[in-house]
Structure 1
Amino acid sequence: MSSRDLILARVRRALADVPADDTPYERAVPRPYATEHGDRTAEQTVDLLAENLADYRALVHRCTTGELPGTLARLLAGRGAGSVLVPPGLPGAWLAEADGVEHVPDAAGSTAHELDRVDSVVTGCAVAIAETGTIVLDGSPDQGRRRITLVPDHHVCVVRVPEQVVSSVPQALPRLDPARPLTWISGPSATSDIELDRVEGVHGPRTLEVVLVSGADEGK
């Protein structure tokens, strides 16, 4: 008898006296777990996200919807970007003011070497988690395929606040489809060797900029 058969036999013996109409396992034990730490307002949750993103060495910017095209143009110019990868569903208005920057479409046939020659990538996100300072991408049209956010050295991610921001991982999971290609990002790509020397840009962008966009312009 194999170890597997032995374990399954023990399970069957343990369940032998369980009535067929007994309470299903998933309902047998109450699980009223807390889904966040503390009681924060939406504004405080966004502030916590900004704080934790910065703690992970991401560069955080805030603007309104009307200011977004100018903000993105300024960030790309500040980087000296001559080209930017554009997911197929990225709103066209977002990059309307990025004059002189070549828009490179997210093409399925692009090689890693071709993607590496692109200076920046701009995407949206699926959800942002305040308590962990994490941005989650799910491959939706405004985010594109996973590799376009892993190869270029500069990633600008737009987060709509407060609707795309949650406090915790348990609050984020119901918003995500586990069948989609999920990428969880907490700051720029980084690793440390045995001496704890931090190296950034090893397996992803060396620079992550997050733009927190409120829904409307002031006074509108």
Structure 2
Amino acid sequence: MSSGPSRASGRESGRERILGRVRRALADVPASEQPGHHPVTRDYAAQHGERTHAATIDLLAENLADYRARVHRTEAAGLPALLARLLSERGASQVVVPPSLPDGWLASAPVRLVRDSPALTTRELDSIDSVVTGCALAVAETGTVVLDAGPDQGSRRITLVPDHHLCVVRTDDQVVSSVPQALRRLAPARPLTWISGPSATSDIELERVEGVHGPRTLEVILVAGDPREP
């Protein structure tokens, strides 16, 4: 019975030791000093090497596939047919979509659309087969898709609960080479979700397990042209 308080006391003393070190490190800092008074030099490379835009898209596709995402390419006009085929192959009957996903994207898909809304319960969301979204950006060097809860992306939870995520990336204007380039274009106040492949972790025997913290299957569609145009 006495082990509980002693463990709590140990945690508290560890916390105090860490805070004590922080206080000692800040002891000679004037109270009026602010973080902005000492700008951090950010002279690291904006990207690794020079490449054409087409080569950057190829690199993105290669790294996405390396992370076990399924990569597809299409022209804007072919996007609805591709989405319909991928959802049909998946056997999806219910698909959750953001409020402002372009209507034409799933016009030919034989599925029931569920619009993202606060009223959508976790149980209802767990019964959904797939989710279709756009994205904010994609980073070629890391094979990462970034969502920021924009109108064509919806709330973070719709891209975490369903087991299958179809994410559309506009290659003309949404692909950057590196993380530094992405950070310059993303709004830090928005809820950013960085996705590199399907959700995965390892169990105690280091066996890869997918689908624990998000979709088990991630499919990324690289679209040339602007699929938002009617």
TM-score bracket, normalised by the shorter chain, equals 0.7 to 0.9
Partner letter of residue 72 of structure 2?
H
Counterpart in the other structure of 1:25:
38
- Structure 1 216/177 Cα, relative in aligned 2: closer, same or farther at 3 Å? closer
Query: Are 1:118 and 2:128 an aligned pair?
Result: yes
Give me the whole-angstrom Cα distance separating, in 1, the residues matched to 2:43 and 2:26: 30
Alignment match of 1:63 (pick from 35, 60, 74): 74
| Aligned CA distance change for structure 1 residues 137 and 35 (closer, same or farther; 3 Å) | same
Q: Measure, in 1, the Cα distance between the counterparts of 2:76 and 2:216.
A: 26
Gaps of 5+ in 2: 1-18
Q: Distance in 1 between matches of 2:42 and 2:162?
A: 43
Q: 2:166 aligns with which of 142, 147, 156?
A: 156
Could you tell me how far 1:33 is from its partner in structure 2? 1.9
The 1:207–1:10 alpha-carbon spacing in structure 2 relative to 1, beyond 3 Å, is same
- CA-to-partner distance for each residue in 1:172-218, whole Å, 9 max, x for gaps? 0011111111111000111012322001111110100000000179x
Count of aligned pairs between the two proteins:
204
Q: What is the TM-score with the length of structure 2 in the denominator?
A: 0.84
Q: Which residue of 1 aligns with 2:26?
A: 8
2:167 aligned partner, one-letter code: C
Q: Which sits farther off after the overlay, 106-115 or 61-70?
A: 106-115
Identity %: 67
Alignment match of 1:73 (pick from 81, 84, 88): 84
Q: Once the 2 structures are TM-superposed, how far is the Cα of residue 5 of structure 1 from its aligned partner?
A: 5.3
**AA matched with 2:91:** G
Matches of 2:206 and 2:57 in 1, distance apart?
A: 31
Matching residue of 1:104: 114
| TM superposition shift of 1:96 | 1.1
Pair 86,216 (structure 1): closer, same or farther in 2 beyond 3 Å: closer
State the shift of 1:6 in Å.
Answer: 4.1
1:97, distance to aligned residue in structure 2 (A): 1.1
The list of structure 1 runs, each at least 4 consecutive aligned residues, that deviate by more than 3 angstroms after superposition, is 2-9
| 1:54 to 2:72 alignment | no
How far, CA to CA, are the matches of 2:205 and 2:108 in structure 1? 44
Is the CA contact (8 Å cut-off) linking 1:53 and 1:187 kept in structure 2? yes
Q: CA RMSD in A?
A: 2.0
Aligned residue in 1 for 2:146: 136
After TM superposition, give the deviation of residue 49 of structure 1 in Å. 0.4
Distance 1:151 1:216 in 2: 28
Distance verdict in 2 for CA 1:5–1:101, change over 3 Å: closer
SS at match of 1:67: helix
Q: 2-side partners of 1:73 and 1:31: how far apart? A: 45
Question: Would the alpha carbon gap of residues 191 and 30 (structure 1) be closer, same or farther in structure 2, given more than 3 Å must change?
Answer: closer
Unaligned runs of at least 5 residues, structure 1 = 16-23
Question: 1-side partners of 2:23 and 2:144: how far apart?
Answer: 42
Corresponding residue to 1:43 among 54, 66, 74: 54
